[in-house]
A and B are shown apart, each in its own frame.
Chain A
Amino acid sequence: MAMASEALMGGFSDAPRQSARAFRAALEAMAQPGSLRELSDLAQAPAPVSPAAATLLLVLCDPETPVHLAGDHDRAEVRDWITFHCGAPLTGAGEAAFALGTWQALGALTAYPQGTAEYPDRSATLIVDGAWQGVEVSLSGPGLKQARAALLPERSCFEANRAQFPLGLDFYFTRGASLWALPRSTRIEEAL
């Protein structure tokens, strides 16, 4: 079957400069957990992938990074788009370097690679796309001068993720054209 033309659209017109700007925002987001960044240079993938999530895929994924698509995001148009633009192999949660889906669809965090004691970097980065019901929490740790209030879809699983530091998952939360990050190093406490 021929690829839908939608799969061929939505990439960068000037990849080196646009991905540089998008990555810098992603880098600053990871360095300052909980701080929201608006992306200026956006990629456009088929629904339901948000422009921010599509941009992260384009900037970070390539044939070396297995990508897991969860739930509604796992559809033919999205698969074709990733295959054409990133060339990333699509896999199950257990082998994923990156996973994309709604919070509901991504499921249990323990299903993803958590890294090893000697190579904790060999763990998955989850891109939590779209809206979710949040609980208020307080973030502290590296990148945060003082505690910062944030909304997370849940508290206990992120606390458990932090508890196994230096192992664990890192997160990007994407919605529309904006994103923020939560690395495994961030301590999560009940909102003050």
Chain B
Amino acid sequence: MSAEQISGEYNFAYLDEQTKRMIRRALLKGLAIPGYQVPFASREMPMPYGWGTGGVQISAAIMVPEDRFKVIDQGADDTTNAVSIRRFFEKVAQVETTEKTTEATVIQTRHRIPERDLTEGQVLVYQVPIPEPLRFLEPSEVETRKMHALEEYGLMHVKLYEDIARHGEIATSYAYPVKVEGRYVMDPSPIPKFDNPKLEMSGIQLFGAGREQRIYAIPPHTQVVSLDFEDYPFQRMKAPQCCDLCGAGESYLDEVITDDAGGRMYVCSDTDFCRERREAGHVGALGVAEDAA
């Protein structure tokens, strides 16, 4: 055995080979039936459910030693969840990691799609809490599975209609339901609906729900339509401000409370996008020019 093979105490990418085969088969079926939730035998991972175990299992099953791995949590590379998952794969798969969207080959994400368009060959792995878009409308899995089989999605339209009746608009602002390739209604995971148009992309999108034991996928260039009504068309939504650090007007923003006197600032949720802009010399209202910093 070479030194490479025996380095580290874990199998390459943590999971045993039979588990990987089971996940890999589910991924292939998921790609062949875009938007359909494939059941899989989710494993215990060395982190609690809700911390991205579904995404981690998919990343482990698709990872090759040559990958450059990036993890974002709500767009940020530097939050606890992102840092710990990145370190996990540095340890168990000895892969290179990066914070740069453009350099990454596999990006695991919690609740955001990077601002930069992904290119062919890049894989985006989503962490999904509740994969079933109909779950809060119909608690029974037997029923929701039947509804998907019969393409019976009236209930979802009733929900969106009730939004309009109560709030005057479709108030659903994240985990906004989509229809994939004209067939399956799918939960895009709790990404803001601002990100929904980006679900039609050049990269491969894989979704993993560890606790709920479901995998689903969207191949590149697949039609993904956000559900809406003719008279209430789907609308993207973001804070009307510009980023206070880099001045970007087109990126999705986080509102950050800065004191207890009502002070606040808006910053890009995608930290890599914001850094890249600041390095290129863009400065927001509260930002400091890079060379002066």
Contacts and interface: CB of A to CB of B under 8 A. Distances in A.
A31 B118 CA distance: 15
A117 B149 contact: yes
Given A31-B204, A62-B18, A16 B11 contact: yes
B25 interface: yes
A121 B38 contact: yes
Given A121-B26, A144-B221, A145-B221, A170 B32 contact: yes
A146 to B, nearest CB: 9
A64 B11 CA distance: 21
Contacts of B2: 14
B62 A27 contact: yes
- Identify the interface centre among A59, A61, A97, A120: most chain B CB within 10 Å of its CB: A120
B145 A118 contact: yes
B219 A143 contact: yes
Contact of A17 (B31, B64, B121, B184): B64
A49 B274 CA distance: 52
A123 B26 CA distance: 11
Nearest to B221: A145
A108 to B, nearest CB: 20
A16 B13 contact: yes
Contacts of B250: none
Contacts of A64: 22
Interface in A101-148: 117-121, 123, 125, 141-145
Contacts of B29: 121, 123, 170
Contacts, number: 117
Given A27-B24, A27-B204, A19 B17 contact: yes
B119 to A, nearest CB: 12
Given A27-B31, A60-B24, A166-B33, A118 B62 contact: no
B176 interface: no
A49 B94 CA distance: 34
A38 B219 CA distance: 20
A145 B62 CA distance: 23
Contacts of B126: none
B36 A23 contact: no
Contacts of B21: 59-62
B25 A30 contact: no
Interface string A56-71: 0001111011000000
A185 B25 contact: no
A165 interface: yes
Interface in B175-196: 181, 183-184
A123 to B, nearest CB: 8
B131 to A, nearest CB: 14
20 contacts: A15-B17, A16-B12, A26-B24, A27-B24, A27-B204, A60-B24, A117-B149, A118-B146, A141-B181, A142-B34, A142-B222, A142-B223, A143-B220, A165-B183, A166-B33, A166-B36, A183-B31, A184-B33, A185-B32, A185-B33
Interface of A: 14-17, 19-21, 23-24, 26-28, 30-32, 59-62, 64-65, 97, 117-121, 123, 125, 141-145, 165-166, 170, 183-185
Given A17-B12, A143-B219, 7 more contacts: A20-B20, A27-B204, A30-B219, A118-B146, A143-B31, A184-B32, A185-B33
Question: Ordered nearest first, which 10 A-B pairs have the shortest CB separation?
Answer: A183-B32, A16-B12, A143-B219, A117-B149, A121-B29, A142-B222, A142-B219, A31-B219, A145-B221, A170-B32
Interface of B: 2, 5, 11-13, 17-18, 20-22, 24-34, 36, 38-39, 61-66, 121, 145-146, 148-150, 181, 183-184, 202, 204, 217-223
